[in-house]
């Protein structure tokens, strides 16, 4: 299952971003919230943003593959999603709005492609079966 590769990469990215938050909480000795530290605020937001997009994208990608999408389409959407998340991360972390926007654009395009593919590859005959 090709989509598993991108699910694993997404999970690894989420773990890395979580470790960034934990490291900064320990560094600044902040148990909850951001303690007013901009670097910690940014890390929390970067992690939160990834959590908002990666799980749903992973579900869409797996379902798309299970419904019979072509392997190249799964790779295209998975690569675009991961590239988008990494570019967005870079943009947020380095205060580069153009990188951030590009990352979100790639993320949105991958999500839209996966939605369209899932609609296309849906087993319509089973869904509308009268059995």
- For the segment 9-55, what is each residue's pLDDT rounded down to a tens digit? 999 999 999 999 999 999 999 999 999 999 999 999 999 999 999 99
Helices (H) and strands (E) in the chain, counts: 5, 0
Does domain 3-123 fall into CATH 1.10.510.10?
A: no
Domain regions of the chain by residue span: 3-123
> For 94-103, what is each residue's pLDDT tens digit?
989 999 999 9
- pTM higher than 0.85 for the full model? yes
């Amino acid at each position: 299952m090709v989509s598993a590769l991108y699910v694993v990469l997404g999970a690894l990215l989420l773990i890395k971003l979580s470790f960034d938050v934990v490291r900064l909480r320990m560094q600044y000795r902040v148990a909850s919230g951001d303690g007013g530290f901009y670097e910690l605020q940014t890390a929390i937001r970067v992690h939160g943003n990834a959590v908002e997009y990666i799980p749903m994208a992973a579900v869409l990608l797996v379902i798309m593959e299970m419904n019979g999408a072509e392997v190249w389409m799964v790779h295209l959407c998975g690569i675009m999603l991961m590239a988008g998340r990494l570019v967005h991360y870079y943009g947020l972390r380095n205060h580069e709005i153009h990188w951030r926007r590009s990352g979100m654009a790639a993320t949105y395009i991958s999500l839209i492609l996966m939605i369209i593919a899932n609609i296309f590859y849906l087993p319509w005959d089973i869904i509308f079966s009268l059995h």
